[in-house]
Structure 1
Amino acid sequence: MAELATSIRRNAIGLGLFAIITGGTIAITQVMTAERIQEQAARAEAQALFEIIPENRHDNHLLTDTVQLPADNGINANDPVTAWVARRNGRPTGLIMPVVAPDGYSGNIHLLVGLNMRGTVLGVRVTSHRETPGLGDRIETKKSDWIHSFTGRSLGDPAPERWAVRKNGGAFDQFTGATITPKAVVNAVQKTLIYFREHRSDIRDILNEPASPRSTPLTPEEIAGQTPEREHS
């Protein structure tokens, strides 16, 4: 009996040590993995920012020039919107806003939407999603050029009723076998444009942008930075 009790204690101690070591290893792995994921996400986000507004179209430090815009349930739940600001000679020339499309096929689709100060889309990029590989993932630039179809668009181009996929009478292509994903992105971009229109006065005040038109004409470089050529869908 004594030997059996001793054996049980040894087994219990061994199992306990194994559980402690295993738990510690898992915890360390999770921390290290989380850090790597955050770093990769930050790099992807930075790359997307400069794809939307290239460095030759602004002279400020885009990654650190951020502002807090009013919260709006339409684009980012009820949290304030942290937007990146592009400036040239001190004047704001564009904004890039993080936007969530909540109605993707497999959940939230996270986007960056860039607008110039006239409310025209400079570019859109997807930063994270869980859409179906081979179908919904065509919203990524490495899978197709579909996301570029928003460049140069505005609330009036196309008309409001045409902000939809072609299957529903809209101006934007859907994917073969996947309509929900592109529809979610189209809706999110349109809501971003509506947000910009509705909060235009607040945004102008936050950016200290003059309300009246400037007295001198824009340079060709500034025009190129603010009015992108639209890529038709």
Structure 2
Amino acid sequence: MIRMVSKNALALALVAIICVVILGSLHLLTKPKIAEQRRLSQLAILSEVLPEVKQTRALLANCTLVNAPDDLGGKAQRVYRWQEDDQLRAYVLDVTAPDGYSGNIELIVAISPTGTVLGTRVLNHQETPGLGDKIETRRSNWIYSFSGKAATPAEAKHWAVKKDGGDFDQFTGATITPRAVINAVYRAANYVQQHPELAHAATNCELTP
């Protein structure tokens, strides 16, 4: 009886080891493909917020990590830098709006060094379908309304929904969501204006999350 149990235990252990080896091998084989898909996804999004950039792969490499939870909504956020003809043209930041209706709203925002928003896209959110999800381009054009707007302290009063006296439309039944996005984009624009040293910070980002 004991010998039979030992044989069964040994067989199970052998099967477990084989499964671990197979899974490990599959992970190693698929890891490069997953990394490349993530990279392509980043390139596509960067091309949307900065369509003028022709070498988006170079933009991915010119990146620094910053810890600014109060301004960018999280730690170790990526800040990409677009330089052309030895001139800094724009920053592209990963930004988190922590006060969405259903939690964090992850954004990517392109901002000129002087604080003009060049483009904004939503990367991830859990907002209510049919209401808060109008921040997505597939649901509405609302997110495009940020492009070309100056987000300087002098323009602060305009950075609110119309219900609060600002320039941006609110969503029927979902005012919290646009407020969160507006505030996050404005804070990000102010952050780059207040930190010109970002232009010369060390490049220390990985190409993929």
2:185 to 179, 189, 213: 189
Residue 59 of structure 2 is matched in structure 1 by 63
Q: CA deviation at 1:146?
A: 1.8
Q: How does 1:85-96 map to 2 (within 5 A)?
A: 85-87=82-84, 89-96=85-92
Q: CA deviation at 1:192?
A: 0.9
Q: CA deviation at 1:197?
A: 2.4
Residue 16 of structure 1 is matched in structure 2 by 13
Residue 50 of structure 1 is matched in structure 2 by 47
Amino acid at match of 2:46: L
Residue 207 of structure 2 is matched in structure 1 by none
> Over residues 125-181 of structure 1, what are the superposed CA-to-partner deviations in whole Å (9 max), with x where a residue is unaligned?
223344445444432323332211110111259942342334544432334454433
Q: Give TM-score, length-normalised by structure 2.
A: 0.73
Q: Which runs of 5+ in 2 are unaligned?
A: 202-209
2:36 to 31, 39, 46: 39
In 2, the alpha carbon distance for the partners of 1:33 and 1:178 equals 40
Equivalent residue of 1:63, what SS? helix
Percent identity (aligned): 38
1:24/1:61 Cα in 2 relative to 1: closer, same or farther (>3 Å)? closer
Name the Cα RMSD after superposition.
Answer: 3.5
Q: Which runs of 5+ in 1 are unaligned?
A: 208-233
Residue correspondences, number:
200
Q: CA deviation at 1:63?
A: 2.4
Q: How does 1:71-220 map to 2 (within 5 A)?
A: 71-73=67-69, 74-75=71-72, 77-79=74-76, 81-87=78-84, 89-155=85-151, 159-200=155-196, 202-203=197-198, 206=200
Contact 1:93-1:116 at 8 Å conserved across structures: yes
Amino acid at match of 1:20: I
1:38/1:103 Cα in 2 relative to 1: closer, same or farther (>3 Å)? farther
1:25/1:67 Cα in 2 relative to 1: closer, same or farther (>3 Å)? closer
1:102/1:141 Cα in 2 relative to 1: closer, same or farther (>3 Å)? same
1:170/1:20 Cα in 2 relative to 1: closer, same or farther (>3 Å)? farther
Higher mean displacement: 73-82 or 44-53: 73-82
Q: Give TM-score, length-normalised by structure 1.
A: 0.67
In 2, the alpha carbon distance for the partners of 1:59 and 1:23 equals 40
In 1, the alpha carbon distance for the partners of 2:116 and 2:78 equals 19
In 1, the alpha carbon distance for the partners of 2:103 and 2:2 equals 54
Equivalent residue of 2:106, what SS? strand
Amino acid at match of 2:8: N
Residue 213 of structure 1 is matched in structure 2 by none
